[in-house]
């Protein structure tokens, strides 16, 4: 006798082929998922929207400083601001040579209607929350199936503790932006691996580039686990790797204007500070390391929350994997394999946060730039949310009695998941209120925001960067240091200065701006040699006697110029590869019928 289908199962939707589904199933599934994602986004941002001020997260001063400076440069006509004028006590910095700009473009645009970076940030976070949940649902819908399980997974992707911690404890806006791209990269990578369409190839390239424009560190750590996953997925079909690898290469090319200057020109900055700062050494940031910070005498306040979030998310991910594997029938090879792979990925991300993983950190020197091993929790959030969705799908399948797990198993699995989800949500709620909501509009005018100090973005010629945060400097905008005469400032913008100099004897002019590759000068229209002056490595140049006009500009270096051309050329390369590669045929042994049936040369 066929068991009657219950209300919950009608919401979940069938797992049979699309032709056997009811005509209104996609609408119903989409409505249920949209409701879940909307409620989760509201819950995620409710504390932020209920308070006028922002939470005083670890990076709230820095992010608001960069947002204000970025918006100011945009208003002056810089399409891609690279220099920030007010940084480092007004001496400036090549901030967006080193930092990816995506969040700041979004927040700058969102700030325009309100005239406030605080309101602009809140509007941007609303947009990012909606996009993050939607992008996860697109992945879960394809890997797991449409309906409530995928919607619940998307909700958890927004509400798991580390994602909440990124907003309220750390105020890590660039990393928050990266969460949008993780699920899309997995979605398009698998499609491309199994044939895929032109849109899938282009989607893979664009989303990988988007991740790099959002947060370089997240792109690095995600790639470390993405590569083994791709190798595992092909299982000997090495030719099939060509499509996704070319897709990633095109993504790297598209991101060259952001990535290449950051990688090459960091040699011109005191980027060593990233590792030398009191909490910058990865060896001091494993989750069980909680000693007072060197030179500061207090413990990093983020350690206890990340320790708890690591374990709550690990338990949830592993329990969901157990439920999914226990309730998924052996014939569903793809789903069982995915559950096991995600469980391994969740465990690997946890392992990288333990001191025992130190040899791996030393094996890849660039890993040290991640600074905080607990950043691998971004992967744990993704894996745990997907595993919960898989477990829910396995616990409430719809079909013939032969494909339905025993009720006892389902009740036990769902009860365990419910307890662990409640623990994670409770921890997330606790984290959301750890920091006071006291970063008001008045704080935007404080010295900590206006003249934010970032020693890592000072020129290598400035040797006192280690003590820079404890020093106060006062350098005039422009002064004639050798010989007599006057210097007047005609124009002073973020990346352009115009000076009028009147000196009977000539002399040396010092400008109150850090020297850095890209600063160029012209004296009465002719090229002018600039050099760093001691003790602060500020811009200096010599002028002959008489009245002169000097124009200084922060322009593209050869590296930035080449990166721009690579990015431009990569647009056409990506289009060409998207057109040509899907026509190549590789064996797709082991691919499920739904994936194998996707037309490799579709639109």
Mean pLDDT of 419-434: 96
Choice among 2-16, 53-67, 472-486 with the minimum mean pLDDT:
2-16
Question: Which pLDDT score, from 0 to 100, does residue 273 have?
Answer: 93
Q: Are 279 and 375 in contact (CB under 8 A)?
A: no
Closest CA to 13 of 338, 520, 399, 585: 399
Res. 590: pLDDT tops 70: no
- Mapped onto helix, strand or coil, the DSSP state of residue 487 is strand
Confidence of residue 256 (pLDDT cuts 50, 70, 90): very high
Question: Which pLDDT score, from 0 to 100, does residue 30 have?
Answer: 76
C-beta neighbour count of 75 within 10 angstroms = 13
Mean pLDDT of 271-276: 92
- Mapped onto helix, strand or coil, the DSSP state of residue 269 is strand
Question: Which pLDDT score, from 0 to 100, does residue 584 have?
Answer: 59
Q: Are 224 and 217 in contact (CB under 8 A)?
A: no
Closest CA to 579 of 312, 104, 205: 205
CA distances from 440 to 68, 106, 115, 174, 526 (A): 14, 21, 14, 21, 47
| 496-503/507-514 β-pairing | unpaired
Closest CA to 231 of 219, 221, 244: 244
Phi-psi sector, 403: left (phi>0), alpha (psi -120 to 50), beta: alpha
- Mapped onto helix, strand or coil, the DSSP state of residue 132 is helix
What is the distance between the alpha carbons of residues 80 and 559, in angstroms, rounded to a whole number?
A: 15
Q: Where are the domains of the chain?
A: 180-264+559-588+599-603, 478-558
Res. 233: pLDDT tops 80: yes
Largest CA distance in the chain: 106
Helix axes 407-432, 303-327, angle to 10 degrees: 160
CA distances from 432 to 44, 48, 340, 582, 583 (A): 9, 9, 31, 46, 49
Res. 124: pLDDT tops 60: yes
Gyration radius from the chain CA atoms:
27
> Each residue of 451-483: pLDDT tens digit?
999 999 999 999 999 999 988 888 899 999 877
Q: Are 487 and 501 in contact (CB under 8 A)?
A: yes
Work out the percent of the chain whose per-residue pLDDT is above 90: 73
DSSP 551: E
Question: Which pLDDT score, from 0 to 100, does residue 9 have?
Answer: 41
Compute the C-alpha angle 381/387/388, nearest 5°: 90
- For residue 531, list its beta bridge partners: 540
Res. 582: pLDDT tops 90: no
pTM higher than 0.75, yes or no?
Answer: yes
Sheet architecture: strand order including 538-543: 478-480, 507-514, 538-543, 531-533
C-beta neighbour count of 307 within 10 angstroms = 17
Helix axes 148-159, 161-168, angle to 10 degrees: 40
Phi-psi sector, 307: left (phi>0), alpha (psi -120 to 50), beta: alpha
What is the distance between the alpha carbons of residues 552 and 540, in angstroms, rounded to a whole number?
A: 11
Closest CA to 511 of 544, 482, 533, 494: 533
Choice among 33-47, 392-406, 446-460 with the minimum mean pLDDT:
392-406
Res. 5: pLDDT tops 50: no
Fold of 478-558: Immunoglobulin-like (2.60.40)
What is the distance between the alpha carbons of residues 165 and 435, in angstroms, rounded to a whole number?
A: 10
The count of residues in the chain is: 603
Question: Which pLDDT score, from 0 to 100, does residue 3 have?
Answer: 39
């Amino acid at each position: 006798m066929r068991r009657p289908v219950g209300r919950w199962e009608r919401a979940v939707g069938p797992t049979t082929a699309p032709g056997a589904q009811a005509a209104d199933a996609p609408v119903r599934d989409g409505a249920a998922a949209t409701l879940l994602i909307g409620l989760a986004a509201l819950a995620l941002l409710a504390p932020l929207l209920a308070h006028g001020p922002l939470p005083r997260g670890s990076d709230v001063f820095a992010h608001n400083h960069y947002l204000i400076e970025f918006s100011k440069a945009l208003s002056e006509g810089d399409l891609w601001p690279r220099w920030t004028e007010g940084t480092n006590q007004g001496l400036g910095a090549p901030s967006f040579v080193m930092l990816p700009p995506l969040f700041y473009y979004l927040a700058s645009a969102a700030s325009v209607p309100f005239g406030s970076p605080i309101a602009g940030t809140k509007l941007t976070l609303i947009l990012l929350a909606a996009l993050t949940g939607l992008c996860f649902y697109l992945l879960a819908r394809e890997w797991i199936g449409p309906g409530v399980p995928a919607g619940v997974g998307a909700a958890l992707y927004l509400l798991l503790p580390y994602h909440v911690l990124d907003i309220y404890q750390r105020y890590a806006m660039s990393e928050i932006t990266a969460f949008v791209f993780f699920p899309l990269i997995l979605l398009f990578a698998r499609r491309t691996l199994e044939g895929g369409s032109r849109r899938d190839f282009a989607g893979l390239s664009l989303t990988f580039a988007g991740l790099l424009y959002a947060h370089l560190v997240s792109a690095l750590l995600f790639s470390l686990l993405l590569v083994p996953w791709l190798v595992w997925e092909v299982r000997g079909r090495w030719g099939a790797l060509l499509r996704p690898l070319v897709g990633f290469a095109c993504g790297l090319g598209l991101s060259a204007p952001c990535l290449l200057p950051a990688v090459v020109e960091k040699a011109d900055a005191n980027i060593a500070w990233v590792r030398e700062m009191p909490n910058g050494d990865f060896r001091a940031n494993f989750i069980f390391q909680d000693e007072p910070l060197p030179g500061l005498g207090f413990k990093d306040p983020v350690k206890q929350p990340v320790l708890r979030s690591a374990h709550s998310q690990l338990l949830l991910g592993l329990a969901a994997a157990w439920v999914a594997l226990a309730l998924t029938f052996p014939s569903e090879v793809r789903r069982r394999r995915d559950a096991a792979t995600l469980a391994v990925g969740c465990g690997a991300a946890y392992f990288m946060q333990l001191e025992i993983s130190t040899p791996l950190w030393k094996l890849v020197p660039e890993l040290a730039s991640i600074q905080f091993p607990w950043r691998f929790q971004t992967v744990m959030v993704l894996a745990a949310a997907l595993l919960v969705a898989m477990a829910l799908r396995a616990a409430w399948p719809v079909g013939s009695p032969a494909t339905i797990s025993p009720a006892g198993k389902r009740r036990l699995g769902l009860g365990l998941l419910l307890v662990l989800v409640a623990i994670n949500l409770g921890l997330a709620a606790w984290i959301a209120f750890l920091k006071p909501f006291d970063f008001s509009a008045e704080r935007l005018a404080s010295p900590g925001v206006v003249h934010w100090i970032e020693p890592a973005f000072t020129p290598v010629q400035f040797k006192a960067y280690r003590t820079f945060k404890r020093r106060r400097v006062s350098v005039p905008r422009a002064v004639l240091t050798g010989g007599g005469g006057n210097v007047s400032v005609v124009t002073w913008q973020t990346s352009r200065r115009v000076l009028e100099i009147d000196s009977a004897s000539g002399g040396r002019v010092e400008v109150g701006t850090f020297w850095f590759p890209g600063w160029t000068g012209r004296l009465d229209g002719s090229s002018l040699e600039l050099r760093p002056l001691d003790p602060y490595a500020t811009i200096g140049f010599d002028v002959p006697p008489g009245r002169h006009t000097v124009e200084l500009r922060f322009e593209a270096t050869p590296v930035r110029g080449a990166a721009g051309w690579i990015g431009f050329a990569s647009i056409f390369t990506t289009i060409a590869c998207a057109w040509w590669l899907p026509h190549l045929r590789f064996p797709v042994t082991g691919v499920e019928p739904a994936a194998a049936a996707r037309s490799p040369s579709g639109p």
